[in-house]
Every structure is written in structure tokens, then in C-alpha cells.
Amino acid sequence: MVHQLPTGAKDLLPLDVAQKRWIESRIQQVFQSWGYQRIITPTVEHLRSLTAGGAVNPESVIQLHSNSIEILGLRPEFTASIARAYAARLGQSLATCPQRLYYNANVFRRRANNTSEESFQAGVELLGASGLLADGEILMLLAESLDRVELQDWQIILGDARLTGALLDLLPEQYRAKVRQCLASLDRIALTQMDLPADVKGYALELIDLRGKPKDVLSRLSNSEWTSGLTGEINYLKSLIDLWESTGLTSGDRLILDLSLMQTFDYYTGLVFEVACNNYVVAQGGRYDRLLGVYHPQNVSYPSIGFCLNLEDLQQALQSRLPQTLATSNCLVVAKNAAAMQAAFAHAALLRQDLGVEAIELELEFRAEDAVREHARSRGIPKIAWVSSGDAIELETIF
């Protein structure tokens, strides 16, 4: 019988783990340097908790059998769990806001073809903060994280659910849902073929084409006859773009403004964004100012924003820059005969104590010396410590 993993589950072999940890350690350093602290939430939650915010379709949650009346599910993302954990706590005192939290763990989703998928995410949530500085912090933190792992040619695709929603509201009500669906799926062909009045179709096509250099898009918006009542939303985006450019931390072409970027649900209330790199979407996030109220006992909400990095996609995009070999042991300790076994263990322990992080291996067979040397060479171990029964030790460098 051949034992295989369930479809979508993953074994990470040592080189995969080394590459993953290379990425995670650098991202974690950035998160911590900005004052974010790690949170760990349960892998299993009540299904109603996971889907309460509206961003997660119940059909995408892998559900578990339970003796409880409540249906349980594996977490498909982290934001809902973190919102549940902190919704009530934020109201205890003003000193609790904002909360800067980060996470790094696996998530599980059921796909449309009824297969399951395990993946890994790292990300941050900034709870209880709103305004230009909070939005700017999240974008700058995301940019610094991508730069720290030496990712090349990435771009943040930035949208604004509040502004896009306001632009959609300028349409006659009977057409909004269909146009919204076309925007969410970027289906310009369907929009072109839709039976709409000429002026409505022209405006809808303007919406789906609101993408490009931020200042160019904002200039088009400001000069549009449709947007005279949206000066505040447009000026906010202008201020955010100015803040981004003023830091000098990132080049101007890293940011693309796309006001057709949106979801079919109302989970996001402000900024929305994703990071594209070499056909991979390596990150996404946005502002969700109503979600915590879903979990708060008195329905009190707190403005919040965050992002997650998709570690598998990031690993693929970074592949040429990641470690391609595993770290080797520093020394192979060999007992030359059975009487020297205790001395070999003792010497290996002493080396580990002296060398700290260096790995020390123990030869587990009594083989000819040439065979031991060949074994060390094949493993990339540069030194052999030959231990005799009288505690005599001979150190040999083989390369």
C-alpha cells in the first residue's frame, strides 16, 4: 500500500525549510523593528467565527467533524482570528490602541474543485488605528519587508474600496451590481457587451481603466465631470501618494494606482492592495474598519489595516536568491573501536559546547578509514576527529 498525503497538503524537506526560514527570519526582523509583536491563534476555530466578517466563503473552509453542536473549521486566513482575539480587549483602555501584531503559520483552504490546499503566510495587523499615518505605515512596512528579502521587480497595486464604492454609487442603482462584478473580475469584454445606456457604459469603461501612475490617475479623476463630490477621497489618496514618495525609501514606479481593484464583498472599507512580481501575487491586504465590531460584545468596532505575504509564491519569486544547499556539519567524530565509544560521545559534546551553533556529527558505524573519509567528503564535512580508546584524539582536515 502506498501512503500519500491528502491533495494540497505539503511535506517540507530540509532544503525547503531552509529557504522558508531564510525568508521568514528576515521578514520577522522587519516586523519586530517596527514594533510588531507575534500572535499565535488556534488552527481550529468555530466556523461562524471564521466567516463572520464576510470575507471568507464558508465553502472555502475545510470543516471538521466534532461532537460539539458547533461546526469547526481550519483557519483559511488570520485576520478573522486576530480580530476575534482582540476585539473586546481593545476597549479596556485607550492605552491598548493601537495594537501592532504579526503572525507566521500555515492556513488551509478548500478550492472550487473541492480539493484542499495548505499554504503558509506571514503578515501584520495594525488594530485600532486609522488615517494617513497608519495607512502609510502599512505600505512602508510592506515595502521594507520586500526589500529585506531582496525581491526584485515588485509593484504594489493600490486601490481604495471607499473611493471605488463612491464612484460606483454614481451609477444608476439598477446597473451597479453588474458593473461591480465586472470590475472585481477585470472583465472588460463583458462590460463592453453589457446592455447599458451609452453614457452609463462610457462611465463604467472609464472606471475599469482607472489604472496607471498614481498622479496620472488622480489627475484624470480630478478633471472628470463625474467626481466633483469626491474631492475629499481624491485628496486623501493624493496625500498618501505624496507621503509614499517623500520617504525616499522606494522608487516611484513601485506603486500603481488601480481603482478597479476590489472584491465582490464589503469586507474592505478603505485601501486595498496586492503585490505582483513575475506573475506571482506575493502579498495582499487592506483596511477593514468594521470587522472588529462583528466580534465585539457591544458591536464596537475599531479601524484596522493589515497585509499578508504568501510565502510559497514569495519563495518561487525569490528562488534564484535563496540558499541552494544545506548547511553542513563542521566535524565528524569517529570512534576508532568499540572501546572508544564513550570518549567519542564526550568529545562530540565538548565540541558542540565550544563551537556553539556549529553542527557536530557522530560516525555510527565502524568502517575503514578511507570509507569514513569518503563519507565525510560526500556530506561536505571538512574535518574528522579520530577518537581512540585511550581518549587520544587526532584531528584531520580532509578539505
> Residue 318's pLDDT is what?
95
Q: How many CB atoms lie within 10 A of CB 316?
A: 15
In a domain, 3, yes or no: no
Does residue 8 sit within a domain? Answer: no
pLDDT at 133: 97
State the Cα–Cα distance between residues 144 and 269, nearest whole angstrom: 24
Q: Are 22 and 151 in the same domain?
A: yes
DSSP for 274-317? EEEETTEEEEEEEE-SSHHHHHSTT-----EEEEEEEHHHHHHH
Tell me if 120 sits within 8 A of 106, measured CB to CB.
yes
- What CATH number should be reported for the domain holding residue 348? 3.40.50.800
Are residues 313 and 392 both part of a single domain?
no
Last residue of a domain, one of 287, 321, 355: 321
Domain count, the chain: 2
In a domain, 326, yes or no: no
Structural domain range at position 361: 331-397
- Do 97 and 171 lie in one domain? The reply is yes
> Which DSSP string corresponds to 63-81?
EE--SSSSPEEE-S-SHHH
Q: Is the peptide bond before 214 cis (omega within 30 degrees of 0)?
A: no
Q: Are 127 and 292 in contact, with CB atoms under 8 Å apart?
A: yes
**pLDDT tens figures, 18-33:** 999 999 999 999 999 9
Note whether 129 and 65 are same-domain residues: yes
State the Cα–Cα distance between residues 84 and 94, nearest whole angstrom.
Answer: 19
- Same domain membership, residue 255 and residue 390: no
Residues 342 and 193 in one domain: no
Exposed / middle / buried, residue 23 (Cβ in 10 Å: 0-12, 13-18, 19+): buried
**Strand, helix or coil at 160?**
strand
Give the CA-trace dihedral at 231, 232, 236, 241, to 10 degrees. Answer: 0
pTM for this prediction: 0.89
* C-alpha angle 82-98-268 in degrees, rounded to nearest 5: 55
Q: Which of 158, 346, 373 is nearest to 253 (CA)?
A: 158
247 within domain boundaries: yes
Q: State residue 114's pLDDT score.
A: 75
pLDDT at position 275, please?
97
- Do 210 and 346 fall into the same domain? no
Decide if 4 is inside a domain: no
- Enumerate the H helices of the chain as residue ranges: 14-33, 47-51, 79-86, 132-148, 161-169, 173-184, 188-193, 198-208, 214-222, 231-246, 291-295, 311-317, 341-355, 369-379
C-alpha 91/C-alpha 98 separation (Å) is 11
Do 163 and 274 lie in one domain? The reply is: yes
| Structure-block grid coordinates of residue 120 | 503558509
Residues 264 and 347 in one domain: no
**Same domain, residue pair 371 and 222:** no
Query: Of the candidates 359, 394, 342, which has an alpha carbon nearest to the alpha carbon of residue 373?
Result: 394
- Does the residue 58 lie in any domain? yes
Q: Using CA atoms, how far apart are residues 215 and 228, in angstroms rounded to an integer?
A: 17
Separation between Cα atoms, residue 82 and residue 41, nearest integer Å: 7
Element (H, E) at 122: strand 116-127
The predicted structure's pLDDT at residue 264: 61
SS3 (DSSP) at 8: coil
Mind giving me the DSSP string for 334-376? EESSGGGHHHHHHHHHHHHHHHTTS-EEE--S---HHHHHHHH
User: Is the domain of 242 the same as that of 382?
Assistant: no
Q: Which three cell numbers stand for residue 159?
A: 486601490
**pLDDT under 50: residue ranges of the chain:** none
Q: Answer yes or no: do 117 and 240 share one domain.
A: yes
Q: Which residue has the cell 526589500?
A: 147
Cβ atoms of 196 and 223 within 8 Å: the answer is no
